[in-house]
Structure 1
Amino acid sequence: MFDLAQESFAKQGDNFFLEKTRGVLIVSEAVFKKKYKDIQEKKWFLFSKRQEVLPEQASFLLRCDLQNEEVFLTEKTTVTLSNIEISTRLFFVLLFRTRVTVGERFSITRHVDNEDCIREHGMARNSPVWLGRNEAVPSLVLENIERMPLNSVGCSLQKLNLRDTGLINILPKLRINGDCEVGMIWLYAPRKEHVAAVLAQKKPFCVGRVRKMDLEDYAVGIITKMILKDCEIERLRLDAGEEAHVAAVLKQEKPFCVGRVKNMVLQGYAASVITKMSPKDCEFESLILIAPKEEHFDAVLKQKKPFCDGGVKIMHLWDYAVGVITKMSLKDCEIETLGLYASEEAQVAEVLKQENPFCVGRVKNMRFEGYAVDVITKMSLKDCEFESLILIAPRKEHVAAVLKQENKIRVGRVKNMVLAGYTGNVITKMTFHKDNTMESFVLDAGRNQLSRILKKGDNSIDLGRIRLGGFHVPERRIGRKFRYTLVDGEGKEVTRKCSRKKDGHRDTLFPTEREGKYSRKKVTRKRSQQVMEKQVGLMTRKKDLE
């Protein structure tokens, strides 16, 4: 038996909306029962046939007070939406099945089963709307969207998730209040036509106060069309896999503003978009650039004039994005954390070509991994004061450029230092400020990774002053190569008194009371993690950044 209520996708009073192949049928329960009350088994068959004999409406004004008569709406029917609020489900069905015209005072709201799908505009509920679609759309839908005036579809947007669909073009047609709290906007457009109408807009449109925004492929270009100046975005991620995806942005002569962004991730070709952002009106707490391919950053590296990154506090540059460090104007910046990560030698080639050292401003915490360790040779660090300096090199070739240096690298003042893997040898190339006092010095490496240190004479590597309990190296004979002065919390020199104790597998030198430690490798590694994670709080894996 055919259940009218169950088969319908929306209702309005005693009327039900049914989506069919050729269009939308509006029928009341009373009319339906009256015409087919004596038929049970053939009810659905006759109902389907009924559509074929119903006259097609040329136009239809959608109202709250629908008449108790059958109405069949097709792609030839012009449905006018004015002075009403309808549910999102009804809106999209009409968009796909009929010729829609949007008039004044029209809005959409969240669909609720078993509730009326149409209300007068003055009685609007303004309930949060979640718009989500990932389907191809027929030309009828695009024509309907094109006819809509800008800002004509009112809604209290909560989330927007449109992927691989031309429905993205409806975005500038939405009327979103500037104070509307939007939890998430996620747009993915692998084809240009998915966003063509949006990019053609000359006037920017409002998307509310967005918390999180993800724009992928051609959708990246939409960022230049949004009003974001007064927004406080928790996370903004732009990802482009092809150069054409960012062409619309890079053509911009004037820089655009993205407001205050807490965490911004630019990946692939989208990394070059950073050069088009206005530094005066933008504030980034965290900036992450990821460029796995060289061509991802060609547009940036070709720039002769350096650009400013604004008031960024935390910056992580991955792969070929490491090269952008030479294109940024950072001299007067105060950066809390700077992280460079390069897994291939070619990813730091542009930086190592620099003849003159460049300034990175006042950096509090610095972390270099892989081939990025070599970049330290091109930096002017003598006036820097680091809360922490962390260098990690799992492979010998990662530090080859540093060890070839004839001149010493002056790194200023360092409070906490961690040298992991082959970077332990880099300490032989460093000098510190004469008044420097380290809270901790950690060598996290195996014996085979510290060959250069082992070739040095005892007490030949000067570390200056180190706090009690702050000296951590893998084994005793490595510790003998360093010259340092232990000091207490007030900076006063402390006399070293050590004793020997048997430690399972071998003799290990243990300090009495609070002196510095010559500990086993696992103890050193534990301390290394404490410095890197607890004191510095840096992210260590790329997947944590994406």
Structure 2
Amino acid sequence: MFDLAHEAFAKHGDSFFLEESGGVLLVSKALLEKRHKDIQKKEQSLYEQRQEALEVAKQRVFEEANEEISALVAQLQTPATFSLTPALPNETILLTDQTTVTLSNIEISSQLFLVLLEKTRVTVGESFSIAEHTDNEDCIRESGMARNSPFRLERQGVVSNFALENIKRIPPSSIGCSLKEVGLTETDLINILPKLRIHKDSKVGWFIVTAAEKEHVGPILAQGQTLYVGRVKKIALGGYAVSIVVNLRTNEDLEVEDLILDSTGKEHVAAVLEQEKPFCVGRVKDITLGGYAVSIFPKLGIRKHYKLRELWLNASEEENVSAIPTQYKTICVERVKNINILDYAAGILPKLIIHEDCEVELLNLSANRKEHVAAVLEQEKMFCVERVKNMRLCGYAVSVISKMSIHEDYRVENLKMYAEKEEHVAAVLAQGQTICVGRVKNMGLWGYAANILPKMRIHEDNIMEEFVLTAAREHYSRIFGEEDNSIELRKIRRDGFDVPSGTKKKLRYTLVDGRGKEVEENFFFF
């Protein structure tokens, strides 16, 4: 028999919704019951006449049933208007792009809504909502019986111009819903977002929106529509969708775990850069800016009385940083706990100023290629690093230490440098000037970073709690070229002093105990 339940994309009671090329067919199961009985009689007759041809014959019967449905569609009169309610008519109705379907005082499944959006002229009235689609369950409920069941709003690819016209006519915040996740990739359906009225208690795991074409987000940007996304855990915007970050509003009672913005073209962030005022991202724990999204960093505002946990700036191209508007000679950083700067984003360092009321826990710099730090090293002027408790420099970023000026009255808690290759430190070794690191509580040098030790100048009153050199003999070959007892380390706690034995005669240091009193060095014999 013709499997109506299988062919339908949604059901309600004994009625089924079928998607046809000409529209949406609303058909009652009873309509096909008589035809089903006829099919069964034909099958029995064919079986008795020639059993071996049964499968072929059955297929022919099924095709006849499908043809009957198609013929029925062609004969149906389509209504000009149709009000969708839980009480569906018993007759068969074809809803087309000439039918205005009114959605008011009901809740329907998300799947039914999206098909109606593509196939019919949709009008949204009061008390309308959409909910999760569940196979074999009714897809329409009165608004008073709404389940508010969360669903995933997902779509990839183009949406018809007809559907976009429908979306334009829908009033803002007129579609009630609860969401589990949002995943809209390279689709004009992004423009449905301002039309949603997301339940305030809706917990959204991921909110992912990417747009390769400006048209995907054009109406939102042009109208400046606010996008309330509720209680979201993680937000990721890509391409032109990065620009809608200024429109997003989240539940103020909940922290967003991650905000990830990534774009590969300058045009993707043009709308943000053209804004005169900065924008506030609300309560967000971690922010990652990738590609040209790095250039909007000066526009980023952190909510007052709130501190960002992690800030990641990752630029794979030099232009990602040069796209920062020229009026930003300096960029003030406020209320950020940890700052992580990767690759070409190192070019932003000379512009950074830590606000006087802010103390950064960690400044983490990493560069995999010498070009990543070339712009910083080419500058004649030093840049000041203040109010940073811990610094970690990796790869070619180790050379940036030569351009840093650490205020002598400020003490760095931890200074860690990692260099796996000799070329990572070649630039700093080629320079003639010394490197003033001021007051440092703990210092650790790994690999070839040990070779810059002779260039360092530590404050004369400094006492290090810990000084560690972790390197093989080939890593610190430059130290052997220094005179004995010539590399000044000042005072170091005896329990925190750990260097290869071959380097000790080149170092000048005083070991002290926990009270700062000079003590003898421990020697172990095996």
Query: Normalization by structure 1: what TM-score?
Result: 0.87
For residue 103 of structure 1, what is the amino acid of its counterpart? G
Aligned partners of 2:194 and 2:225 also within 8 Å: no
For residue 525 of structure 2, what is the amino acid of its counterpart? R
Residue in structure 1 matching 2:332, options 308, 314, 320: 308
Which residue in 1 is equivalent to 2:374? 349
Q: Does residue 267 in structure 1 map to residue 290 in structure 2?
A: yes
Q: Give the secondary structure class of the aligned counterpart of 2:482.
A: coil
For residue 372 of structure 1, what is the amino acid of its counterpart? A
Q: Structure 1, residues 434-465: CA drift from partner, whole Å, max 9, x if none?
A: 34333332222232332221112222222223
Give the direction of change, closer, same or farther, for the CA distance of 1:371–1:383 in structure 2 (3 Å limit).
Answer: farther
State the Cα distance separating 1:213 from its structure 2 match: 0.4
For residue 165 of structure 2, what is the amino acid of its counterpart? E
Q: Structure 1, residues 73-118: CA drift from partner, whole Å, max 9, x if none?
A: 1222211111111011111111122121111111101112222111
Which residue in 2 is equivalent to 1:495? 520
Task: Measure the CA separation in 1 of the matches of 2:126 and 2:251.
Answer: 28
Which residue in 1 is equivalent to 2:448? 422
Which residue in 2 is equivalent to 1:19? 19
For residue 383 of structure 1, what is the amino acid of its counterpart? D
Q: Give the secondary structure class of the aligned counterpart of 1:171.
A: helix
Where in structure 1 are there 5+ consecutive unaligned residues?
502-546
Aligned partners of 2:283 and 2:303 also within 8 Å: no
Aligned partners of 1:109 and 1:129 also within 8 Å: yes
Counting matched residue pairs gives 500
Which residue in 2 is equivalent to 1:443? 469
Aligned partners of 1:456 and 1:481 also within 8 Å: yes
Give the direction of change, closer, same or farther, for the CA distance of 1:185–1:280 in structure 2 (3 Å limit).
Answer: closer
Give the direction of change, closer, same or farther, for the CA distance of 1:193–1:424 in structure 2 (3 Å limit).
Answer: same
Q: Does residue 158 in structure 1 map to residue 183 in structure 2?
A: no
Which residue in 2 is equivalent to 1:84? 106
The aligned runs of 1:60-79 (5 Å cut-off) are: 60-79=82-101
Q: Does residue 318 in structure 1 map to residue 342 in structure 2?
A: yes
For residue 122 of structure 2, what is the amino acid of its counterpart? V
Which residue in 2 is equivalent to 1:238? 261
State the Cα distance separating 1:154 from its structure 2 match: 0.9
For residue 33 of structure 1, what is the amino acid of its counterpart? E
Which residue in 2 is equivalent to 1:10? 10
State the Cα distance separating 1:304 from its structure 2 match: 4.2
Task: Measure the CA separation in 2 of the matches of 1:356 and 1:229.
Answer: 44
Q: Does residue 207 in structure 1 map to residue 233 in structure 2?
A: no
Q: Does residue 257 in structure 1 map to residue 309 in structure 2?
A: no
Query: Normalization by structure 2: what TM-score?
Result: 0.90
Which residue in 2 is equivalent to 1:521? none
Residue in structure 1 matching 2:150, options 104, 107, 128: 128
Aligned partners of 2:176 and 2:197 also within 8 Å: yes
Q: Give the secondary structure class of the aligned counterpart of 1:188.
A: strand
Which residue in 2 is equivalent to 1:298? 322
Give the direction of change, closer, same or farther, for the CA distance of 1:426–1:303 in structure 2 (3 Å limit).
Answer: farther
Task: Measure the CA separation in 2 of the matches of 1:76 and 1:489.
Answer: 86
Q: Give the secondary structure class of the aligned counterpart of 1:208.
A: strand
Task: Measure the CA separation in 1 of the matches of 2:355 and 2:8.
Answer: 65
Residue in structure 1 matching 2:426, options 400, 405, 408: 400
Residue in structure 2 matching 1:375, options 400, 410, 413: 400
State which drifts further: 46-55 or 168-177.
46-55
Give the direction of change, closer, same or farther, for the CA distance of 1:31–1:302 in structure 2 (3 Å limit).
Answer: same
Task: Measure the CA separation in 1 of the matches of 2:379 and 2:117.
Answer: 57
Where in structure 2 are there 5+ consecutive unaligned residues?
41-60
Which residue in 1 is equivalent to 2:45? none
Q: Identity of counterpart residues, as a percentage?
A: 52
Task: Measure the CA separation in 2 of the matches of 1:228 and 1:310.
Answer: 21
For residue 24 of structure 1, what is the amino acid of its counterpart? V
Q: Give the secondary structure class of the aligned counterpart of 1:48.
A: helix
Which residue in 1 is equivalent to 2:169? 147
Q: Give the secondary structure class of the aligned counterpart of 2:38.
A: coil
For residue 385 of structure 2, what is the amino acid of its counterpart? V
Aligned partners of 1:164 and 1:194 also within 8 Å: yes
Which residue in 2 is equivalent to 1:522? none
Task: Measure the CA separation in 2 of the matches of 1:274 and 1:178.
Answer: 29
